[in-house]
Structure 1
Amino acid sequence: MLRYLIAGGAIAAAAAAVAWWVTGQKPPSVTSFRQPAAVDLARGEALYGEYCSSCHGADLQGQPDWRTAGADGRLPAPPHDETGHTWHHPDRVLFDYTALGGKEALAKDGIEFDSGMPGFGEALDDQDIWNIIAFIKSTWPERQRNVQAERTAADLAGS
């Protein structure tokens, strides 16, 4: 049984790599699906300031009225602090959203919606994306960190 699971995983990974190659996208590395143990919070904070704060706020507070779509149908940038919904999502979703951008990340899950979030996978490598995510998570209270960790574990387990 384990042999079939390993073979299935290898086939799925190969198919994903081909799909990424055909679409001209940068393929995610193996680390893309799980936050590495070694992250640099100071670098993540600096990169957040450079790449994220102009939309999500210097204090992770997001844009005003972030739950109401604008005239273009897009939602303003949400907060990444405990008042937002970032902590509701598993690591895979946070990584994909950051690397691919909202529209493409949602499309991977069968959702057609343009959130307006650009992808940063060309500008940032996987480690730097994880550094940013780790910085954001480090600002959350324990309850939000625990809930998000549970959702990540469930996502990795396939449930």
Structure 2
Amino acid sequence: MIRLIPTAIFSLVLIATGGAVWVLTGDNEPTSRLQPDDPVVVAQGEEVYAANCAACHGADLSGEPGWPDWRQRKPDGRLAAPPHDESGHTWHHPDNVLFQITKLGTAVYSGNPDHPSDMPAFGEVLSDNEIAAVLSYIKSSWKGQAREANARINRQAAQK
């Protein structure tokens, strides 16, 4: 079931396309409906991840290769690419935040052009559906408590 988010000024637009469903609010911030249990979407996401994300975040979602602790800054003061598996922090964020970070890049999303991260914007490289597929792939790797906690975080975000 698709849940629409009300807005005061703008009408809602529902866009359903190839593997992802988006609800656009008046400020055009999509709330993703990721599909981590759809094997077709997850397989597409795994391919897109391998081609665009694995070099920084690890082929196995384990974080920046060669950097032992994603919580410690590198010598240049930048943040390492974090793991996207359950050992990381990704599952602590609602889907719409993960989508925006991926699409806009960390510096733009945070509003701080000097944000100490190398996460680029993928909005000009990947389609919204490809971003949703990658996030579905990542989310498919979370089990048990991480998956349950992320579902709670998404429910809380939808109520705001």
Task: Give the TM-score normalised by structure 1.
Answer: 0.76
Structure 1, unaligned runs of 5 or more: 18-27
Match of 2:140 in 1: 138
Find the aligned partners of 1:157 and 1:100 in 2 and give their Cα distance.
23
Distance 1:6 1:106, change over 3 A: closer
Find the aligned partners of 1:142 and 1:89 in 2 and give their Cα distance.
16
Match of 1:68 in 2: 72
Q: Does 1:83 align with 2:87?
A: yes
* Aligned 8 A contact 2:34 2:135 in 1: no
* Aligned 8 A contact 1:101 1:120 in 2: yes
SS of residue in 1 equivalent to 2:51: helix
Superposed displacement of residue 115, structure 1: 1.6
SS of residue in 2 equivalent to 1:95: helix
* Aligned 8 A contact 2:34 2:136 in 1: no
Q: 2:151 aligns with which of 120, 141, 149?
A: 149
Q: 1:93 aligns with which of 94, 97, 101?
A: 97
Match of 2:47 in 1: 46
Distance 1:88 1:119, change over 3 A: same
Superposed displacement of residue 133, structure 1: 0.3
Cα distance per residue 1:24-76 (max 9 Å; x no partner): xxxx6xxx322255771100000010000000001000022211112332111
Superposed displacement of residue 114, structure 1: 3.3
Q: Percent identity?
A: 41
SS of residue in 2 equivalent to 1:8: coil
Q: Does 1:33 align with 2:19?
A: no
Higher share of residues assigned strand = 2
Superposed displacement of residue 92, structure 1: 1.1
Task: Give the TM-score normalised by structure 2.
Answer: 0.76
Letter of the aligned partner of 1:44 in structure 2?
A: G
Q: Return structure 1 stretches of 4+ with deviation > 4 angstroms.
A: 36-39
Cα distance per residue 1:91-139 (max 9 Å; x no partner): 01100111001111111xx796232101101111111101000000101
Higher share of residues assigned helix = 1
